[in-house]
């Protein structure tokens, strides 16, 4: 058992008193106090084990010994800012370059996904000398003011849409304007971006960037239809803009078959800027922007130094290097392919027995199970999704959460060391809960749960 510094109730009371209440907790009505973790498992103050299906940040597994060792060794030796010459930053940039298409060959290291996206905006605007940005509906790109402005998921609840921001339909073939029966949804959705660009031009404005996650996460674990990104890039380039791929959630092999999720769109597609974060440092704040020599050149040409105190320091880069080593040595991409396919297969089998599962989608260890009250109308089963999440935690000690505009999608983005038996345990547990809901004829959508 862990020795607690504070009793759980004391921690909760202090948190209420001292921490801004807009910083919300998971399971806010009965939060879990986690005191240690290993691999894909979390342990609470009583030593109770939870299976973690949501910590995509702890990419190679919680507290991986190789990462801890690399961090401690570098911390013991040196940690400076990037104005001193040091091997780690260049060796790390070189390793990242090897995972990317040749054209993405210049790197800026920062401390969070938000910082990366904010810098991407600056790079795009500086390079194109245009201001306007196209984003996908329901997108989230970070918490800085510049990113709230380009995140419909946030700005719709706040000050609203700025005149330089334009929202394209989310290419969601399950619930969007073009569905799976469309002969070419990739082209159909890309053409909505073309229409939007024309509308922007009619207003006398110009596009600096099309900004999108390679697999929209908050939007609902969406897999972009084939051909979409290449076509959008063609339209955006013709308008003088650049394509920014936000890989903050999806990079570093989560999709298994490829290192970057944008590569799922085929070899003829390459973004102009890629932003990365969450999994990069396995929990250490490490993020990055990769771009082309031309875009970086335009940024340099303004004559203003870009200085980032912590970004790319020797400890961060030692950790980044260790993460890449573990992904390779432990074949975590191969694991994502195998375990992800098993999780998806079992979930699809579950769908055949439970009408409430409207859709199962995903690639690698990025999987979503969409719950609906009516398969024809695809009505979101939001309250049932919340109920399933609560029971998974309370009865089965499994941490899962929901995503999507209606919070009706059970999302799985576990550490990449997730095993076959973990996938089986999760799906069996969901099966028990859904069977119980049916047996008791619970009317969850009508109840205040």
In the complex, the residues that contact ligand PLP under the rule CB under 6 A are 112-114, 117, 140-143, 213, 217, 246, 248-249, 277
CB of 143 to ligand PLP, least distance (A): 6
C-alpha angle with apex 243: 253 to 405, nearest 5 degrees?
Answer: 70
> Secondary structure of 222-250 in the HEC alphabet?
CCCCCCHHHHHHHHHHHCCCEEEEECCCC
Residue nearest to ligand PLP (CB): 113
3-state helix, strand, coil in the chain (%, to 5): 40, 20, 40
Q: Tally DSSP H helices, then E strands, for the chain.
A: 13, 16
Nearest partner of 163 among 119, 208, 200, 209, judged by Cα: 200
Question: Cα(348)–Cα(104) distance, rounded to whole angstroms?
Answer: 37
| Between 217 and 384, CB nearer to ligand PLP | 217
- Please state the closest distance from residue 276 (CB atom) to ligand PLP, in A: 10
Run of H or E including 381 = none
For residues 88 and 114, which CB has a smaller minimum distance to ligand PLP in the complex?
114
**142 versus 404: smaller Cβ distance to ligand PLP:** 142
420-439 and 332-353 helices cross at what angle (nearest 10)?
20
Minimum distance of ligand PLP from residue 250's CB (angstroms)? 8
Closest approach, Cβ 264 to ligand PLP, in A, equals 16
What whole-number distance in Å separates Cα of residue 266 and Cα of residue 229?
9
Q: Which is nearer to ligand PLP, 111 or 347 (CB)?
A: 111
* Cβ 117 to ligand PLP shortest distance, Å: 5
Please state, in angstroms and rounded to a whole number, the distance separating the CA atoms of residues 415 and 2: 23
CB closer to ligand PLP, 207 vs 286: 286
Of 39 and 251, which has the nearer Cβ to ligand PLP?
A: 251
């Amino acid at each position: 058992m862990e020795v607690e510094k504070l009793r759980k109730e004391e921690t909760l009371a202090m948190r209420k008193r001292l921490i801004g209440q807009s910083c919300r907790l998971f399971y806010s009505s009965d939060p879990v106090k986690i005191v240690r973790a290993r691999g894909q498992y979390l342990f609470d103050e009583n030593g109770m084990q939870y299976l973690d299906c949501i910590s995509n940040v702890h990419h190679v597994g919680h507290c991986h010994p190789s990462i801890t060792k690399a961090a401690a060794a570098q911390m013991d030796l040196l940690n400076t800012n990037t104005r001193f010459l040091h091997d780690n930053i260049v060796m790390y940039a070189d390793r990242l370059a090897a995972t990317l298409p040749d054209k993405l060959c210049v790197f800026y290291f920062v401390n969070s996904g938000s910082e990366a996206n904010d810098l991407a905006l600056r790079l795009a605007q500086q390079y194109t000398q245009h201001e306007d940005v196209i984003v996908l509906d329901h997108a989230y790109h970070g918490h800085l003011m510049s990113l709230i402005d380009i995140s419909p998921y946030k700005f719709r609840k706040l000050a609203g849409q700025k005149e330089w921001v334009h929202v394209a339909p989310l290419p969601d073939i399950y619930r969007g304007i073009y569905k799976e029966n469309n002969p070419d949804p990739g082209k159909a959705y890309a053409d909505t971006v073309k229409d939007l660009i024309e509308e922007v031009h009619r207003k006398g404005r110009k596009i600096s960037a099309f900004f999108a996650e390679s697999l929209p996460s908050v939007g609902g674990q969406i897999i972009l239809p084939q051909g979409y990104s290449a076509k959008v890039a063609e339209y955006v380039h013709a308008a003088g803009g650049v394509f920014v791929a936000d890989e903050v959630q999806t990079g570093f092999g989560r999709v298994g078959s490829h290192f970057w999720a944008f590569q799922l769109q085929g070899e003829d597609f390459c973004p102009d800027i890629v932003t990365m974060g969450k999994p990069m440092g396995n929990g250490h704040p490490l993020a990055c922007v990769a771009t082309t020599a031309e875009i970086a050149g335009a940024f340099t040409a303004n004559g203003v130094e870009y200085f980032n105190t912590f970004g790319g320091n020797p400890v961060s880069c030692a950790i980044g290097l260790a993460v890449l080593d573990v992904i390779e040595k432990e074949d975590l991409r191969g694991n994502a392919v195998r375990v992800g396919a098993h999780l998806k297969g079992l979930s699809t089998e579950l769908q055949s027995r439970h009408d409430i599962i409207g859709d199962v989608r995903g690639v690698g260890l990025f999987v979503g199970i969409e719950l609906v009250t009516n398969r024809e109308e695809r009505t979101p089963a939001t309250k049932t999704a919340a109920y399933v999440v609560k029971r998974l935690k309370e009865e089965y000690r499994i941490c899962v959460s929901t995503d999507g505009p209606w919070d009706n999608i059970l999302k799985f983005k576990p550490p990449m060391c997730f095993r076959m038996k973990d996938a089986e345990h999760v799906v069996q547990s969901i099966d028990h809960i859904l069977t119980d809901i049916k047996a008791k004829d619970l009317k969850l959508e009508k109840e205040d749960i």
